[in-house]
Structures are given as structure tokens and as C-alpha cells.
Amino acid sequence: MNLKDLKKAFLLTLPVMMGYIVLGMGFGIVLYTRGYGIWWALAMSVFIYAGSLQYVTVDLLTGGASLITTALTSLMVNARHLFYGISMIDRYKGKGIKRLYTIFALTDETYSLVCGNNDEMFEPEKRKSFYFTVSLLDQIYWITGSVLGSLAGSLIKFDTKGIDFALTALFVTIFVEQWLSTKDHRAAIVGVASSLTCLLIFGSDRFLIPAMIAIGITLCLMKPSERRDENVG
């Protein structure tokens, strides 16, 4: 990817950078206050790299959770990535380290950028490089925030209550940005409606996986109707 394309990718990831720096700092601060220093923050952000799961991992570490509990919790928290991965099969076709890395680095925000209309800004042969660059930039932002947060935690003493709410704030920001940048809001409406319905039925502790299943099924059912509409048109 040349400098011009790199600049395009960087500009597209700026909203994520703003969020990831803040979120990463929140994670680094919380981790440090629980007795885990900068090297823990760096290692977790390099090898785990899953925002919400990293916050949960702090409690798992301090609570002495078993390996089985940790594995099941990780699966439950990141179950949505099963659906992300299925929808990315065509985009991430190929071989090599870059493909493996983009699979590993597929976070919510990276998925939002890659699945949008942003890849139309790049020539077809450059799109896989675009996916890789966006994924790498986003992880760099997260690592930077985590390390800065750990450093801040070692220098500044304050109440960390409510810091983890920054993760929710970022999701809202991404949602609003996607809503404003697209004309077709059906997918967004399906997501909100399915999530609220499952929240009311299953409760706040168990709604995530049913909501993702409902969203996935609904969007799959919508695809054939979209193709029929295109053929009629």
C-alpha cells in the first residue's frame, strides 16, 4: 500500500483511534489498580486484543477463575465474532500471514470499517492490503492506549469507577457514525430491535448470544429478498 492509500486508511480509522486510546487507557488503569503492571497491559493487548474481554479478564485474573471458567467466559463474550467471521469469508479469501492476522484482529470497530463502503475507495487488488492496514492501525491504537493507561495508573491515584463504560460509549459512537454515513438503515434497525427484544426476554446477563443469532438469521433472510428486488429492477 502506497503512502496515499495509507493516508486514506489512517483517516478512516481516526474515529477508532480516538475511542481506542481512551478505552485502552481505561483498561490499562483498571489493570494497574488490580496489581498488574505495564507488561501485563502490553502482553494482553498484543495477544488477546479483545476490548470487552480484556476488561472481563481483569476480574478473572483477580478472582482466581479456573481455566474452564476462563475459556467458557471468553467464548460467551466473543461469540459474536462467529457471525463476523462468516460474513468476512469472501473479503478475507487468500493465504499467508496477512490473512491470518486480519482474522485475529477482527474487532467490532475494525469490522465496522471493513464491512462499510470504505473498500470502494481502493482498487480491487489493494483491498486486502487495506483490510490488513486498518486492522494493524486499530491494534496499534489499542496497544498505545493500554500502555499509556498503565503508566497513568502508576503516576495518578484516582477512583476508577465507571471507566469501563467508555466501551459502551464507543459502540454508540460507531453506530451513530454508520447510521449517518449510509442511506439503508435496515441492518441497524434489525440489530437494535433484536437486541432490545432479547434483552427484555433473556435479561442483561444472557441476551447477547440470542440477539446475535436473531440478527444473523434476520439478515440472512433479508438477502434473498434483496436479490429478488434487484432482479425485478
Where residue 43 falls among pLDDT bands split at 50, 70, 90? very high
Domain limits, the chain = 3-166, 183-233
Q: What is the sign, positive or negative, of the torsion defined by CA atoms of 186, 180, 182, 50?
A: negative
Rounded average pLDDT over 68-89: 79
The chain-wide mean pLDDT, for the chain, equals 81
* Its pTM surpasses 0.85: no
5-41 pLDDT, tens digit per residue, is 788 889 889 989 988 998 899 889 888 988 899 999 9
Rounded average pLDDT over 202-218: 79
Cα 88 versus chain centre, distance = 14
Q: How confident is the model at residue 89, as a pLDDT?
A: 82
Q: What does the alpha-carbon distance between residue 159 and residue 161 come to, in Å, rounded to a whole number?
A: 6
Q: Residue written as cell 459502540?
A: 171
135-185 pLDDT, tens digit per residue, is 999 999 999 999 999 998 888 776 767 666 766 676 677 678 768 777 778
Q: How confident is the model at residue 40, as a pLDDT?
A: 94
- Range with lowest mean pLDDT among 48-52, 121-125, 200-204: 121-125
Q: What does the alpha-carbon distance between residue 182 and residue 79 come to, in Å, rounded to a whole number?
A: 26
Q: How confident is the model at residue 164, as a pLDDT?
A: 61
C-alpha cell at 165: 463504560
Buried/exposed 133-157: b ≥16 CB within 10 Å, e otherwise: bbbbbbbebbbbbbbbbbbebeeee
Look up residue 120 and give its DSSP letter. G
Do residues 107 and 51 lie in contact, with contact meaning Cβ atoms separated by under 8 Å?
yes
Max distance between CA atoms of the chain, in angstroms, equals 64
Q: How confident is the model at residue 232, as a pLDDT?
A: 47
Higher pLDDT, 83 or 218: 218
195: pLDDT strictly greater than 80: yes
> In 3D, which of 141, 144, 90, 142 has the Cα closest to residue 119?
90
H or E stretch covering 233:
none
Higher pLDDT, 226 or 208: 208
Do residues 131 and 91 lie in contact, with contact meaning Cβ atoms separated by under 8 Å?
yes
Instruction: Centre a 10 Å sphere on the Cβ of residue 11 and count the other Cβ atoms it contains.
Output: 10
